[in-house]
Homo-oligomer: A and B are copies of this chain.
Amino acid sequence: MSNDAPLGGGPADSVPTDRAPTDRAPTDRARAGRAHARRAPDTFVNGPSPIAVTVDVVLLTLRSGQLCVLVTQRDSPPFQDGWALPGGFVRVDEDLDASARRQLTEGTGVAASGHLEQLRTYGRPDRDPRARVVSVAYLALLPNLPPPPGTDRDGPTARWWPVEDLGSADGPVLAFDHPTIVADGVERARSKLEYTPLAAAFCEEPFTLAELRRVYEAAWGAPLDPPNFRRKVLSTPGFVVPVGARAAPRGGGRPAELYRRGSATALHPPLLRRSV
């Protein structure tokens, strides 16, 4: 550290002490308002501006063949009764990745395991009507979770929503710029299936190749040829490794071989969806 740039003079107790972003606490009263009144004048041109930093998480999973996103219900304005991504303020000594895992665990009870990657940062000045908030969005991928998280709490309700329903009339009303964030997250997941072994993050280990294939089919909305898919996956070193056992047969059909995630981080060549 150094003296170069003197940190501001304000004492610690003069900084904002307001409530969390994922405020669903009953004490959440509206003190917010007047965000613009707090916005910095030109005196901040050469120094830091009062901008809050939050993390929002797009958690995707596969539920009965559908790609679903986890959202929590809001209980206060703005967007009261609407749905929002799990998220909240970043603590001053907390790494961004760690904050994302914490938001998931604290806000929804979802285990913080599984794939987590930074998605993108959203910072339009008007994205939150109350204040200037910059949000670092994360993308999390998990296998289907036995209990739909959060539904048994009396606090804010969490639920899975199929991503297909997001634009439609019977879909949820997403708060803030969360429609954009979710859309970006879904598109990131879809395209990363092409050139990374990420599809396995949706599968509980050990998994069959059919389960892995259904991830692609759900994400891309198109069927894949099972024989060709099998060859493709097995010919990519480190995509999956055989576990040496077979799945328990269920309801007819030959039992499938079991695999777990391999060590590969990229697919060469990629497994391209036939789009354009």
Q: Point out residues on A near B: beta carbons under 8 Å.
A: 1-25, 27-35, 37-41, 43-56, 74, 76-79, 84-85, 87-96, 118, 120-121, 123-125, 127-136, 175-178, 181, 266, 268-270, 272, 275-276
Q: Which residue of B lies closest to A17 (CB)?
A: B8
CB distance from A59 to the nearest CB of B (A): 14
Q: How many copies does the complex hold?
A: 2
CB distance from A233 to the nearest CB of B (A): 17
Residues of B within 8 A of A95 (CB): 123-125
Q: Which residue of B lies closest to A77 (CB)?
A: B2
Residues of B within 8 A of A177 (CB): 2
Residues of B within 8 A of A135 (CB): 1-2
- A12 in complex: contacting residue of B27, B40, B270, CB < 8 Å: B40
Q: Which 5 A-B pairs have the closest CB atoms?
A: A8-B16, A6-B31, A6-B32, A8-B18, A1-B54
Interface of A is mostly: loop
Could you tell me the distance between the alpha carbons of A71 and B4 in the complex, rounded to whole angstroms? 14
Could you tell me the distance between the alpha carbons of A18 and B133 in the complex, rounded to whole angstroms? 19
Residues of B within 8 A of A3 (CB): 20-23, 30, 32-33, 54, 56, 74, 77, 84-85, 87-88, 175-176
Residues of B within 8 A of A90 (CB): 49, 51, 123, 134
Can you spell out 29 A-B residue pairs with CB atoms less than 8 angstroms apart? Answer: A1-B33, A1-B176, A2-B30, A2-B175, A2-B178, A3-B87, A4-B19, A4-B30, A4-B84, A5-B23, A7-B18, A7-B33, A7-B52, A7-B133, A10-B50, A11-B14, A11-B38, A12-B40, A14-B15, A15-B49, A25-B46, A45-B91, A49-B89, A53-B134, A96-B124, A118-B121, A134-B134, A268-B275, A268-B276
